[in-house]
Amino acid sequence: MKSLNKKLKNIIHSKAPVRICDIGGWTDTWFYPKGAIFSISIDLCSHIRIIPNFSKIINIFSENLKLRTEIRDFYKIRYNGTLDLLKAAVKRMNIKEGIDIYVKAEAPPGCGTGTSASVAVALIAALTHFLQEDLKPGEIAELAHNLEIEELRLESGVQDQYAAAYGGINFMEIDYPSVKIIPMNVKKKRLEELENQLILVYLGSRSSNKMHKAVIENYRKGDKSTLKSLEIMKNCVYEMREVINSENLELIGKVMNKNWEAQKKLHPLMVNPIINEVEKIAKNNGAIGIKLNGAGGGGSATILSAIGSENKLKAKIKEEGFQELPVKFNFDGVQTWKSNLIDNKI
């Protein structure tokens, strides 16, 4: 009779949130001196599982995109457009043991909520745990940002990685690439109010590469509208810090609107017929504030509803064929933990 061999596998899990309502977005980039950001982290998390496979092969699986890639030789990692951010994390963290990496994101693709940064932060945290090392949230965020700008040579701001690593509602002062992050002390009543009145609407996937190039070109040329808009957006961050605990919810909506109006003037690519339609639906059904998340041009919008109008507005959004995503604040930031799996081999 064949003997039963049992091999214990330690499975490492991690998750990190995304962010919405990024007031001041675009001022956290290399081309803008000393920017500022206000953002809210929510529980649309990116999840990582790492399972040892007791081989020399590293397998990476994206459950959302139904993509798979493998690394057979650590010294021959090539970036070819397939799960490159994940391969970059493996390379930077010097992972040479055989593992299976499973990735799943709760936010839909191209959502504009910093999902790629959330994935990178979650993976770095999991790999850190796998290596039995210790990195602080700020160190994880910094490394996640470096994956994009150094390994992959991509345009990337710094706000998304810090929101994913720390969670919470944050005020950030940016001296690119350095970030000073200050958690906002928001009253419980206001937290409950915002969580109820904020509506996250998915507009469809979009790529921001073309828009990044266009806005940067405008900035380099000294386009007055672009420069003025960036200044307004940065100032909105300080205004939001002042009004977040105010008695009047409409003041928060006014800052969101002011930021979005300035953002639209960065470049014509910021808006399209779908965005205009959602904005019209919002304003006609009780919204007091709206801002597209991330770079703009699509993805998703954060809408602030007047109290008492939220159900009507949500119903109208659904009626018009748009998807509402859940808004639940996340104050934990990136989290890691371990579980066990026993492999039975006969």
55 vs 91: CA distance, rounded Å = 17
Q: Are residues 140 and 59 in the same domain?
A: yes
Q: What is the mean pLDDT of the chain?
A: 94
75 within a domain of the structure (yes/no) = yes
Residue 221, pLDDT above cutoff 80: yes
Q: Are residues 178 and 235 in the same domain?
A: no
Q: Are residues 174 and 294 in the same domain?
A: no
Q: Are residues 163 and 41 in the same domain?
A: yes
**303 lies in which domain range?**
188-325
Average pLDDT over residues 6-23: 89
What residues have CB less than 8 Å from 21, skipping those under 6 apart?
Answer: 38, 39, 40, 198, 256, 291, 293, 302
Average pLDDT over residues 226-236: 97
Q: What is the pLDDT of residues 271-329, one digit of tens each?
A: 999 999 999 999 999 999 999 999 999 999 999 999 999 999 999 999 999 999 999 99
pLDDT at 3: 39
141 vs 76: CA distance, rounded Å = 26
74 within a domain of the structure (yes/no) = yes
152 vs 67: CA distance, rounded Å = 19
pLDDT at 341: 72
CATH of the domain at 287: 3.30.70.890
Average pLDDT over residues 335-339: 96
Q: Are residues 127 and 143 in the same domain?
A: yes
CATH of the domain at 176: 3.30.230.10
305 vs 197: CA distance, rounded Å = 5
Q: Are residues 177 and 241 in the same domain?
A: no
The string over 104-139, giving b where at least 16 C-beta atoms fall within 10 Å of a residue's C-beta and e elsewhere, is bbbbbebbbbbbbbbbbbbbbbbbbbbeeeebebee
What residues have CB less than 8 Å from 242, skipping those under 6 apart?
Answer: none
**SS3 label, residue 314:** helix
118 vs 213: CA distance, rounded Å = 23
Q: Name the percent of the chain in helix, strand, coil, to the closest 5.
A: 40, 30, 30
Residue 7 to residues 101, 291, 294, 341, Cα–Cα distance (Å): 19, 51, 45, 8
Residue 6, pLDDT above cutoff 70: no
330 within a domain of the structure (yes/no) = no
Dig out the tokens for 220 from the structure: 């380099």
Q: Are residues 262 and 226 in the same domain?
A: yes
Average pLDDT over residues 246-253: 97
**SS3 label, residue 288:** strand
pLDDT at 245: 97
Lowest mean pLDDT among 62-71, 106-115, 334-343: 334-343
pLDDT at 211: 86
Q: How many domains does one find in the chain?
A: 2
Residue 2, pLDDT above cutoff 60: no
45 within a domain of the structure (yes/no) = yes
Average pLDDT over residues 173-197: 98
Residue 345, pLDDT above cutoff 50: no
Half-sphere exposure of residue 73: CA atoms within 13 angstroms, side-chain side: 3
- Dihedral angle at the C-alpha atoms of 217, 219, 222, 228, nearest 10 degrees? 140
pLDDT more than 90, % of the chain? 90
pLDDT at 301: 98
Give the chain's radius of gyration (CA, Å): 21
Q: Are residues 192 and 151 in the same domain?
A: no
CA 171 to centroid of chain Cα atoms: 16
262 within a domain of the structure (yes/no) = yes
pTM for this entry: 0.95
15 vs 337: CA distance, rounded Å = 9
- Dihedral angle at the C-alpha atoms of 183, 185, 190, 194, nearest 10 degrees? 0
39 vs 83: CA distance, rounded Å = 27
pLDDT more than 70, % of the chain? 96
pLDDT at 206: 83
Residues in the chain: 346
146 vs 123: CA distance, rounded Å = 14
Q: Are 12 and 130 in contact (CB under 8 A)?
A: yes
| Residue 346: band (very low, low, confident or very high) from pLDDT cuts 50, 70, 90 | very low
Q: What is the pLDDT of residues 27-53, one digit of tens each?
A: 999 999 899 999 999 999 999 999 999
Q: Are residues 33 and 171 in the same domain?
A: yes
Q: Are residues 176 and 48 in the same domain?
A: yes
65 vs 101: CA distance, rounded Å = 14
Q: What is the pLDDT of residues 120-143, one digit of tens each?
A: 999 999 999 999 999 999 999 999
Q: Are residues 202 and 306 in the same domain?
A: yes
pLDDT at 343: 55
Q: Are residues 52 and 109 in the same domain?
A: yes
